[in-house]
Amino acid sequence: MSIFYFNLSDHTVDPDDEGTELQSVAEARAQAIMFAGNYLGDNPDLLDEGATFKVQVTDADRKPLFSVVITIDEAGPI
């Protein structure tokens, strides 16, 4: 088991101070994707007007491993 940190970033950065113990990087990736979907489901206004939402996953030493990035890229006026 390893500790992974899930840091949020939209217009501000919200670092994970607790971490989550998981079996693998693959499990951390799945958790990050599910977390992003659930968080945005509860807070859909975070992606208004082309904003970007990011969950950065780091290891126990706070080394970045990967990020889940969600952006609405509008083609023009709607």
Which token pair is 19? 């971490």
pLDDT of residue 11: 62
What's the whole-model pTM score?
A: 0.84
20, 27 contact by CB (below 8 A): no
pLDDT of residue 27: 98
- For the chain, which residues make up each domain, given as ranges? 2-71
pLDDT of residue 48: 77
pLDDT of residue 15: 87
Element (H, E) at 32: helix 25-42
HSE, CB side, 13 Å, CA atoms: give it for residue 13: 5
Which token pair is 24? 């693998």
**Mean pLDDT per 10-residue interval, the chain, length 78 residues:** 92 84 98 95 82 93 96 76
pLDDT of residue 78: 64
